[in-house]
Amino acid sequence: MAADVVGYSALMQRAEEATYAGFERLKRELIEPSLSRHDGRLIKTTGDGALAEFASPLAAVRCAVEMQDGLGSDSDGFKLRIGINLGDVIVGTGGDLFGDGINIAVRLEGAADPGGILISEKVYSEVEGKLDVGFEDRGEQQLKNIAKPVRAFAVRAGEHSALIEKTNALPPLPDKPSIAVLPFENMSGDPEQEYFADGMVEEIITALSRFHWLFVIARNSSFTFKGKAVDVKEVGRRLGVRYVLEGSVRKASGKVRITGQLIDAVTGAHIWADRFERELTDVFALQDEVTVAVVSAIQPKLLQTEIAIATRRRPRNLTAYDFYLRAMPQFYLATHEGVAEAITLAHRALELDPRFGLVAALAGVLHMNNVVFGFAADPQFERKEAIRLCRLALSLDDGDPETLAFAALISAFLVRDYEGAIEMADRAVALNPNSLTGWGCRGWVYRSAGLPEEAIRSFERAIRASPVDPLLHRPLTGMGMALVELGRFDEAVVAARKALRQNPFFSLTYCCLASAFAHLGRDAEAREAAARVLETDPAFTISGFIARGGRSNAKVLIEGLRKAGLPE
């Protein structure tokens, strides 16, 4: 295998030290670990490339695909061309290799597309049908200093490639108005009020998301810019939106003041700016007024009745809402301690406002997580409590998208009512097609119901709704598990590895990875992933994993866990 950096000389001319340091990091963090995982031997490196040998063509192509995928997520601007050939070589002194087998690989690399992989017909005949990738016949290639033409094939990862590109590439602008609401700056001087400023933004995002004609970036992607000096144009490019709303919140002496400005992220032009001040008791009316102003700036003809429909039911008691806001960051953590703290806060909110339907649904999911993540000391109690709270939430508000999404999840995992769960999940995304929670829950519901293709489509929508989400490991892990059920094990490995780069402590990701590796016959990597399952979840057993819920239609996944050597 020969690999070379595209345009290395030009990069060196522009920034010599940075380019050299970046390529050294690329070799250290991507190329050398990939070679090691696939039993490749690095023969030599040049200033801008590398030459390696493998025990089999299959290992070489797998390594090449892995390296190109890795470059897609974090490349410092580098692109590789890779050429692979199968042939006899001459071993020189010091272990160097020579001969046509090497020369053809080097020439194929030079003929490859930037970011592409070009293989000889000999390699193609060995790997065709054994990898979940496609191939494009490039015909006979007349390679420099090679006497006879060489038939070459470009590796085309097909669905695999499309899936990775969707999660790596900067998202394009949607074909309808699109907006990201950035975290408002807390001007109160009191860190304890940070949650209040964040809560106001979440309410604006949720209200805007109710409008089906408007594409709204989910809260978690917007909040990756929290506390940072931002270039609005760069935010627009990274999130794939036309408009950005930013502002500040000042809460003091029983009053709250919000300032906001709406900016065209393409041109940088200020479209709208205003300031609102209200008594603290009237904070929801303030939020509605801001929402009306923003939406009116985007589409002046929007009727006030649509604003009224979009305004979701809220708790009558602001203190209950405060507890709900404080529970959410703990819910996002998904640790044993975080779930316990979030349950306490959610139940406190429900005590103060027993008709707060969304917090009842949240509390139900938290009790479900105690079961599914293996945190429960008394799983039967947690199951009953989750189902009770799910039914309570639906009785209070069965028209709220997030309530429906949470209820669908509980119904699928704990009740196994897949038909009812699918119906609720579909309603959730129909009511709010911009909801990360809705699409993410829908993906898990469809996966647990044994419909992995639709699950993958839902997880893709979730990722698009929040492309730089700190919780991206969840839909990526769900996608990986669905790919395992479809037998697309190489793609499952890629999805799981991307999830681990987001969060290296999520045990379900290691389950996905262990199963996929085991099915691929990559036993050492399967055992390593299995060890990480037990490290992150010491009480893990396959029977316990199945009993936790949501696994009855995960037969291929379970089979892989057994092959990986996890305890029964």
Six token digits for residue 284 = 């929801």
pLDDT at position 299 is 47
Six token digits for residue 325 = 């806001």
Q: Do 502 and 476 meet the contact criterion of CB atoms below 8 Å apart?
A: yes
Look at the block and give the residue holding tokens 């492309």. Answer: 467
The reply to whether domains 2-157 and 178-310 share a CATH topology is no
Six token digits for residue 379 = 């799983």
Exposed (0-12), middle (13-18) or buried (19+): which is 457, by Cβ within 10 Å? Answer: middle
pLDDT at position 534 is 94
What is the DSSP secondary structure assignment for residue 192, as one 8-state letter? G
Helix 436-448 vs helix 473-485: angle between axes, to the nearest 10 degrees?
30
Q: How far apart are CA 513 and CA 410, in angstroms?
A: 25
E-strand spans in 174-285? 178-181, 185-186, 215-216, 243-252, 255-264, 270-279
Q: What is the mean pLDDT of each run of 10 residues along the chain (568 residues)?
A: 83 79 81 84 78 88 86 67 86 68 88 88 85 79 82 73 54 77 87 77 80 77 86 90 88 81 85 79 69 56 33 54 80 87 94 91 96 92 97 92 94 95 94 82 95 95 77 91 95 93 89 96 94 91 89 92 95
Six token digits for residue 486 = 């479809």
Q: How far apart are CA 166 and CA 151, in angstroms?
A: 31
Half-sphere exposure of 67 (CA within 13 A, CB side): 35
Q: Which of 287, 233, 281 is nearest to 254 (CA)?
A: 281
Per-residue exposure over 1-34, b if at least 16 CB sit within 10 Å of its own CB, e if not: bbbbbbebeebbeeeeeebeebbeebbeebbbeb
Q: Do 481 and 554 meet the contact criterion of CB atoms below 8 Å apart?
A: yes
For the chain, the domains span: 2-157, 178-310, 318-563
**Quick one: 318-563 is in which CATH superfamily?**
Tetratricopeptide repeat domain (1.25.40.10)
Look at the block and give the residue holding tokens 């602008």. Answer: 173
Q: How far apart are CA 460 and CA 475, in angstroms?
A: 8
Six token digits for residue 235 = 């935010």
Opening angle at CA 13, ends 12 and 17, nearest 5 = 45
pTM: 0.60
Q: Do 407 and 431 meet the contact criterion of CB atoms below 8 Å apart?
A: no
Q: How far apart are CA 530 and CA 512, in angstroms?
A: 10
pLDDT at position 20 is 81
What is the layout of strands, in order, in the sheet containing 80-84?
41-45, 49-53, 2-5, 80-84, 117-120, 150-156, 134-141
Q: Do 31 and 20 meet the contact criterion of CB atoms below 8 Å apart?
A: no
Main-chain phi, psi angles of 258, to 5 degrees: -120, 130
Q: How far apart are CA 267 and CA 253, in angstroms?
A: 39
* C-alpha torsion 201→205→206→209, nearest 10: 170
Q: How far apart are CA 456 and CA 488, in angstroms?
A: 12
Q: Which of 417, 439, 420, 418 is nearest to 428 (CA)?
A: 439
Q: How far apart are CA 167 and CA 100, in angstroms?
A: 39
Q: Do 347 and 386 meet the contact criterion of CB atoms below 8 Å apart?
A: no
- What CATH architecture does domain 178-310 belong to? 3-Layer(aba) Sandwich (3.40)
* C-alpha torsion 85→89→92→94, nearest 10: 50
One-letter identity of residue 277: E
Q: Do 123 and 84 meet the contact criterion of CB atoms below 8 Å apart?
A: yes
Six token digits for residue 494 = 């890629």
- Looking at 397-506, list the stretches that DSSP marks H as alpha helix, in order from N- to C-terminal side: 401-410, 418-431, 436-448, 452-465, 473-485, 489-502
The top-level CATH class assigned to 2-157 is alpha beta
Look at the block and give the residue holding tokens 């997520």. Answer: 73
- Reduce the secondary structure of 271-332 to three states and give it as a string: EEEEEEEEEHHHHHHHHHHHHHHHHHHHCCCCCHHHHHHHCCCCCCCHHHHHHHHHHHHHHH
Q: How far apart are CA 201 and CA 291, in angstroms?
A: 10
Residues in the chain: 568
